[in-house]
């Protein structure tokens, strides 16, 4: 397993991108809309460590309660089905079963930690050929 990124929920995408790139010096990687989730995401990356932050803006969500800003942590797994089978035997709760986002090649699923923090599991698509 490999740690990929931390996702935070943001109120305003443009303002957040400016903060993380211009103030903190992270590098912009990519941005896209996810219509089926009513969200837009953008990735910024630390040029020194490679650590990534995913900025997530939910359509229609402008205000948060304290603590709601952490959206999820993300890990890459080689075999999503095998990993889920293993963690289920340990009593881990699966919040979303494996699926693909439109336009995406990876399968993803979400599990919950003991504090109900969402953990995204990303199985990268095998190379074509």
Cα–Cα nearest to 28, from 39, 18, 40, 15: 18
Cβ neighbours for 20, distance < 8 A, ≥ 6 positions apart? 26, 44, 53, 55
Q: Is 120 considered catalytic here?
A: yes
SS3 of residue 57 by DSSP:
strand
pLDDT, mean of residues 70-83: 90
**Domains of the chain in sequence order:** 2-123 (3.10.180.10)
Confidence of residue 128 (pLDDT cuts 50, 70, 90): low
**pLDDT at 125 > cutoff 80:** no
**Element spanning 87, H or E:** helix 80-88
* Catalytic, out of 14, 40, 65, 120: 120
Report pLDDT digits (tens) over 31-56: 999 999 899 999 999 998 899 999 99
pLDDT band at residue 66 under the 50/70/90 scheme: low
Distance between CA atoms of residues 24 and 48, nearest Å: 12
Which tokens belong to 90?
Answer: 């340990």
- Mean pLDDT, residues 81-93 taken together: 93
Position of tokens 């740690």?
A: 3
């Amino acid at each position: 397993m490999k740690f990929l990124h931390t996702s935070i929920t943001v109120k305003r995408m443009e303002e957040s991108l400016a903060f993380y790139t211009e103030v903190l010096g992270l590098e912009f990687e990519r941005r896209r809309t996810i219509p089926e989730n009513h969200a837009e995401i953008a990735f910024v990356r630390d040029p020194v460590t490679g650590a990534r932050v995913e900025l997530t803006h939910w359509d229609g969500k402008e205000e948060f309660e304290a603590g709601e800003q952490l959206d999820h942590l993300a890990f890459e797994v080689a075999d999503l089905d095998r990993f889920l089978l293993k963690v289920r035997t340990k009593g881990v709760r699966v919040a979303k079963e494996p699926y693909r986002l439109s336009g995406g090649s990876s399968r993803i699923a979400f599990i919950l930690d003991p504090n109900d923090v969402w953990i995204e599991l990303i199985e990268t698509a095998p190379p074509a050929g």
